[in-house]
């Protein structure tokens, strides 16, 4: 392909899939009104509301308060169910207005705005409690939800680094007056049509023509780039990509949150061209997008502060023929197939889902993670070991090719193990797993989801198979051996802003297995793999080295979702 001359390019975005919400009118007085508190069990929201309610009752009489248990935790393990039931619960509680909080992280802030949108659609005025560092994100999410006008009470600073005296002062000085003003004296709604483009989206429309350098600048100015140079998405290049699927280019695969934009075969192809993908891989990229649009995956949480990244796990019989590397340096940039597949996922998150970091506002990852290369399972070695492939463990046929996408929030150091028998390997693996995920693994039990990944080089996998170990045997052993003190979990729970009571509830509601209830000693050792059966074990990497690596997913955000490729 020549890069001389000019390129006529199209947009990589999608059609807006939502609708505008008419903002509910504020109440003229709070006297005699029923005020609800909808809470996500985060960031001292109970203390915030206690202070707001005390101030309200000082000024108005006979205020009735409906506390958060009446509505459920809209950002816990039952989030989809709670959000579905929220309209009915608001009506049942007969509330005149609601305060919803707390948004002080990259996933809880969008959740607050989604709950606000639910209330406003029901004609109930809502005020969102948002920390100031997340206000721009809240405003952007609000626009994407169709909330042209949103009411926010701001917390100045970082909630979890303020002592209680400072915390109460800030709530009193900022959040209390803003919350009351938001419920009472709402400004006239403005004509903000930003959630629905004034220039209707047309997929094949050429949006710019210019040199390669000019195209780069144009896309960067519109935040349509991942920060690296792109290949121009011309109509010819897109047609060449689409020639490798029989699917209708305008087939809608789903609506990608938080931007509320339709994902189609067409814009998958556009972003694949931009990412430099081999056109033969388009059916696999479509499978990846179907995985991340599955409601269980929760792409709307992709801008959360832990900074998880989408990580593709590809399992199939002919990956080598398609150019994928499953051996030495497989997770380094360098092999086009692996590298561009991983890049495409981030490009899709950016351009279609609308998860955009600075100067955008919807991606609030504190740091992020460098996992932008797809992992291809080593089919040949897995077969030689007599182990099932990843796709077979997920219920697919041997002849299928699948793409599973999961979140990765962190990973271990290189895990080197030695010996002909498995015990020493298991001991060192367990130590590394506990070290890599010990502090964070409490979220797996709290949110009832934990799907880590253990990647073994062929040499290590061979030791286990030679000693008669199946993948299930390894899962069972590591599930018992990898442990940390319960007190470590408690400390991390409060630092994150979660409620210890939610974690302790898992000990009695049937979620936690017996290993977590062996005693009441706060320093007892508890497993860091809450659900060993969900640990994926994949063979990959250099056959000449004795190394493994452990990848940690972000609990209920981005569980492993597999999809069969439709060739």
Spell out the alpha helix ranges (H) of 447-556: 458-466, 471-481, 486-496, 500-505
Query: Distance between CA 261 and CA 372 in Å, rounded?
Result: 23
Pairing state between β 152-155 and 126-131:
parallel
Nearest alpha carbon to residue 466 among 526, 422, 418, 400: 422
Percent of the chain with pLDDT over 90: 75
Task: Find the mean pLDDT for residues 151-160.
Answer: 92
List, as own/partner pairs, every contact residues 501-505 make where C-beta atoms lie below 8 angstroms and the sequence separation is at least 24, other chains included.
502/41, 502/73, 502/76, 502/446, 503/442, 503/445, 503/446
Transcribe 499-512 into DSSP letters: -HHHHHHTTTSS-S
Query: Which uninterrupted H or E stretch holds 376?
Result: strand 375-376
CA-CA distances (angstroms) from residue 426 to 47, 422, 429, 430, 547?
45, 6, 5, 6, 13
The pLDDT, as a whole number, for residue 195 is 44
Quick: pLDDT tens for 374-410: 999 999 999 999 999 999 999 999 999 999 999 999 8
The pLDDT, as a whole number, for residue 77 is 86
**3-state SS, residue 286:** helix
The pLDDT, as a whole number, for residue 191 is 45
The pLDDT, as a whole number, for residue 194 is 44
Given a cut of 50, whether residue 65 has pLDDT beyond it is yes
Residues 6+ apart with CB under 8 A from 266: 203, 238, 242, 249, 250
Token digits of residue 67: 């506390």
Measured from the Cβ of residue 54, the count of other Cβ atoms closer than 10 Å reads 11
Q: Is 332 exposed, middle or buried (0-12, 13-18, 19+ CB in 10 A)?
A: exposed
> Of 69-73, 189-193, 490-494, which gets the smallest average pLDDT?
189-193
Given a cut of 80, whether residue 215 has pLDDT beyond it is yes
Rounded to the nearest 5 percent, the helix, strand and coil shares of the chain are: 40, 15, 45
Nearest alpha carbon to residue 459 among 542, 553, 520, 394: 542
The pLDDT, as a whole number, for residue 3 is 58
Residue 554 has φ and ψ, to the nearest 5°, of: -95, 70
Whole-structure pTM value: 0.86
Query: Which uninterrupted H or E stretch holds 186?
Result: none
Nearest alpha carbon to residue 363 among 372, 354, 371: 354
C-alpha dihedral, 114 to 116 to 37 to 70, nearest 10°: -60
Query: Which uninterrupted H or E stretch holds 73?
Result: none
Query: Distance between CA 46 and CA 243 in Å, rounded?
Result: 56
Measured from the Cβ of residue 190, the count of other Cβ atoms closer than 10 Å reads 9
Q: 490: pLDDT confidence band, cut at 50, 70 and 90? A: confident
Chain-centre distance for alpha carbon 202: 28
Residue 118 has φ and ψ, to the nearest 5°, of: -60, -45
Task: Find the mean pLDDT for residues 360-380.
Answer: 86
Query: Distance between CA 161 and CA 288 in Å, rounded?
Result: 39
Query: Distance between CA 434 and CA 436 in Å, rounded?
Result: 6
Residue 231 has φ and ψ, to the nearest 5°, of: -85, 135
> Of 65-74, 335-344, 528-537, 543-552, which gets the smallest average pLDDT?
543-552
Given a cut of 70, whether residue 414 has pLDDT beyond it is yes
Quick: pLDDT tens for 232-278: 999 999 999 999 999 999 999 999 999 999 999 999 999 999 999 99
The pLDDT, as a whole number, for residue 170 is 96
The pLDDT, as a whole number, for residue 193 is 43
Task: Find the mean pLDDT for residues 5-34.
Answer: 89
Given a cut of 90, whether residue 76 has pLDDT beyond it is no
Query: Distance between CA 261 and CA 144 in Å, rounded?
Result: 9
Nearest alpha carbon to residue 102 among 179, 23, 182: 179
Nearest alpha carbon to residue 459 among 501, 416, 495: 416
**3-state SS, residue 432:** helix
As a three-state string, the secondary structure of 86-100 is HHHHHHHHCCCEEEE
Task: Find the mean pLDDT for residues 487-493.
Answer: 87
Q: 370: pLDDT confidence band, cut at 50, 70 and 90? A: low
The pLDDT, as a whole number, for residue 196 is 45
Q: 481: pLDDT confidence band, cut at 50, 70 and 90? A: very high
The pLDDT, as a whole number, for residue 190 is 45
Task: Find the mean pLDDT for residues 533-549.
Answer: 91
Quick: pLDDT tens for 185-209: 654 444 444 444 445 789 999 999 9
Given a cut of 60, whether residue 1 has pLDDT beyond it is no
Quick: pLDDT tens for 430-467: 999 999 998 899 999 999 999 999 999 999 999 999 99
- Answer for the pair 443, 555: CB distance below 8 angstroms, yes or no: yes
Spell out the alpha helix ranges (H) of 304-378: 336-351
Q: Please name the residue that has the structure tokens 């689409």.
A: 242
Q: Which residue has the higher pLDDT, 193 or 511?
A: 511
C-alpha R_g of the chain: 25
How many residues in the chain? 567
Query: Distance between CA 237 and CA 84 in Å, rounded?
Result: 42
Given a cut of 90, whether residue 21 has pLDDT beyond it is no
Query: Distance between CA 150 and CA 116 in Å, rounded?
Result: 8
DSSP letter at 554 equals: B
Query: Distance between CA 552 and CA 443 in Å, rounded?
Result: 11
Token digits of residue 502: 């939610």
Highest mean pLDDT among 33-42, 327-336, 489-498: 33-42
């Amino acid at each position: 392909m020549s890069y001389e001359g000019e390129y006529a390019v199209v947009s990589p975005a999608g059609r807006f899939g939502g609708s505008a919400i008419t903002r509910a009118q504020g109440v003229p007085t709070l006297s005699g009104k029923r005020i609800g508190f909808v809470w996500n069990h985060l960031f001292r929201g109970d203390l915030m509301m206690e202070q707001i309610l005390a101030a309200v009752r000082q000024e108005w009489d006979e205020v009735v308060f409906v506390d958060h248990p009446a509505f459920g935790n809209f950002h816990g393990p039952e989030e989809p169910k709670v959000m579905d039931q929220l309209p009915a619960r608001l009506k049942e509680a007969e509330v005149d207005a609601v305060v919803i909080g707390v948004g002080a992280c990259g996933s809880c802030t969008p959740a607050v705005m989604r709950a606000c949108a639910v209330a406003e659609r029901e004609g109930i005025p809502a005020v969102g409690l948002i920390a100031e560092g997340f206000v721009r994100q809240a405003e952007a999410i609000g626009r994407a939800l169709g909330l042209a006008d949103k009411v926010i009470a701001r917390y100045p600073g970082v909630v979890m680094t303020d002592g209680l005296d400072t915390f109460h002062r800030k709530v009193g000085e900022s959040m209390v007056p803003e919350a009351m003003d938001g419920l009472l004296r709402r400004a006239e709604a403005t004509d903000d049509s930003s959630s629905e483009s004034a220039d209707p989206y047309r997929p094949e429309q050429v949006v710019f023509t210019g040199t390669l350098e000019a195209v780069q600048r144009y896309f960067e100015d519109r935040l349509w780039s991942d920060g690296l140079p792109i290949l121009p998405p011309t109509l010819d290049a897109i047609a060449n990509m689409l020639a490798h699927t029989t699917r209708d280019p305008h087939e809608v695969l789903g609506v990608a949150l938080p931007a509320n934009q339709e994902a189609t075969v067409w814009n998958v192809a556009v972003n694949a061209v931009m990412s430099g993908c081999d056109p033969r891989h388009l059916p696999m990229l479509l499978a990846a997008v179907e995985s991340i649009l599955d409601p269980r995956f929760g792409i709307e949480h992709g801008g959360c502060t832990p900074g998880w990244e989408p990580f593709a796990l590809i399992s199939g019989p002919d990956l080598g023929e398609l150019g994928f590397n499953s051996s030495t340096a497989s997770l380094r940039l360098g092999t086009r197939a692996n590298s561009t597949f991983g890049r495409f996922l981030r490009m899709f998150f950016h351009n279609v889902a609308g998860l955009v970091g600075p100067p955008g506002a919807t991606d609030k990852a504190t740091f992020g993670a460098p996992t932008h290369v797809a992992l291809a399972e080593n089919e040949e070695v897995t077969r030689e070991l007599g182990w099932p492939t990843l796709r077979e463990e997920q219920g697919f046929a041997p002849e299928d090719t699948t793409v599973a996408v999961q979140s990765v929030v962190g990973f271990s150091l290189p895990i080197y193990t030695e010996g002909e028998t498995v015990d020493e390997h298991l001991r060192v693996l367990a130590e590394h797993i506990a070290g890599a995920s010990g502090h964070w693994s409490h979220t797996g039990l709290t949110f009832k989801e934990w799907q880590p990944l253990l990647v073994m080089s062929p040499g290590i996998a061979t030791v286990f198979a030679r000693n008669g170990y199946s993948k299930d045997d390894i899962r069972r052993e590591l599930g018992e051996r990898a442990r940390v003190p319960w007190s470590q979990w408690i400390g991390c729970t409060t630092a994150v802003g979660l409620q210890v009571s939610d974690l302790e509830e898992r000990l009695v509601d049937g979620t936690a297995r017996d290993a977590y209830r062996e005693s009441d000693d706060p320093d007892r050792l508890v497993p860091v793999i809450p659900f060993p059966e969900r640990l994926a074990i994949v063979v990959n990497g250099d056959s000449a080295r004795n190394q493994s690596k452990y990848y940690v997913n972000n609990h209920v955000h981005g569980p492993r979702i597999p999809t069969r490729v439709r060739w």
